[in-house]
Amino acid sequence: MSKKQIIDIGSNSIKFLISEDKEILNKGKVDVGFYNMVNSHSSNKHIISHLMVVIEDIIKNNASFQADELIIYATETMRQFDGKGTIIQQIKDKTDVDLQILTPEEEAIFSYKVVSQNYPDIDNLIVVDMGGASTEVSLGIKGKYQQGVSLGVGTSNVSQIGIAKLEARKQLRGIIDQAMHFCSPPILVLTGGTIECLHRMDVVDLDSENNELINLHNVKDLFLERKDLLHEYRQITTSNALAILEYVLDDVMCVATLNTNIYLCKEDLRFYFI
């Protein structure tokens, strides 16, 4: 039974997890604002230095677990980062590990696997995994992944929402057309960093083992009432997430059951599928 240490370099934060088989021994995250640093035109040297300090601290702080394998992967912002070649080399030099930069298709597949594991009794699923720089939408029919797309809009780059709306209509057409052919409409499930913001607003109980259902309209009202519970940055990202769900993904929501009712997947277990 091997222990794994997994580090996920995301657009907003770097997450880490120590697991042994399917048991989580330790997990956490460090907010780094990778996407914002890239788009504020910080120097590549500064960005890479900051990321490396966080990664090395995570590894050092978890050394007592004596993991047998270290996995480091990254997503959309790293795909866009023109200094990724340098950070790949620095990670290799420091850890002897090859950084895995996931493709959009891999992100969509992992997101579906996470949710289908949490909802084993639901055959038809549309999964929305909202990150800082992209949103993955995946379709599963009769318990099997069918197709997925990666939309170029997330909670940190919502300025692209108009373009994303036009692109989404084209990119999501295959998912929508396939979903509409089934008598039982798919369940819409939201996963990703937005879940934590809903938790901070007391909308979601992360400690509960039960899956939860939210109504998009109710959450919008609760957000206006409780937004002061969130740091300013999280207010912005949560507001952006609600806008993306309502504006960019309205076609998907129309074919999903219960329309504005959305199920939640609170565990980010895609680590297990690397």
Report pLDDT digits (tens) over 188-199: 899 888 888 888
Q: Are residues 267 and 156 in the same domain?
A: yes
**Which residue segment(s) compose the domain that 28 sits in?**
3-101
pLDDT category of residue 165 using cuts at 50, 70 and 90: confident
Q: How far apart are CA 180 and CA 199, in angstroms?
A: 32
Examine the pLDDT at 46 and tell me if it is beyond 70: yes
Where a domain ends, among 39, 69, 101?
Answer: 101
Residue 61: give its domain's CATH number: 3.30.420.40
Among residues 140, 250, 118, 258, which one has the least CA distance to residue 191? 118
Q: Are 67 and 5 in contact (CB under 8 A)?
A: yes
Q: Are residues 53 and 131 in the same domain?
A: no
pLDDT for 215-234, tens place per residue?
888 888 988 999 898 888 88
How far, CA to CA in Å, does 215 sit from each of 42, 170, 237, 264? Answer: 39, 26, 19, 11
pLDDT category of residue 73 using cuts at 50, 70 and 90: very high
Q: Are residues 116 and 248 in the same domain?
A: yes
Examine the pLDDT at 274 and tell me if it is beyond 50: no
Residue with tokens 């493709």: 103
Output the pLDDT for position 45. Answer: 95
CA-based end-to-end distance of the chain: 17
Instruction: Please report how the helices 84-95 and 44-61 are oriented relative to each other, as an axis angle in degrees rounded to 10.
Output: 30
Q: Are 29 and 9 in contact (CB under 8 A)?
A: no
- Give the total number of structural domains in the chain: 2
Instruction: Please report how the helices 216-226 and 232-243 are oriented relative to each other, as an axis angle in degrees rounded to 10.
Output: 160
Examine the pLDDT at 209 and tell me if it is beyond 80: no
Examine the pLDDT at 63 and tell me if it is beyond 60: yes
Q: Are residues 69 and 193 in the same domain?
A: no
Q: Are residues 83 and 114 in the same domain?
A: no
Q: Are residues 109 and 68 in the same domain?
A: no
What pTM does this model have? 0.86
Q: Give the type of residue at 183.
A: C
Q: How far apart are CA 147 and CA 141, in angstroms?
A: 10
Q: Are residues 151 and 52 in the same domain?
A: no
> How many CB atoms are closer than 10 A to CB 90?
18
Where a domain ends, among 51, 73, 101?
Answer: 101
Q: How far apart are CA 183 and CA 120, in angstroms?
A: 19
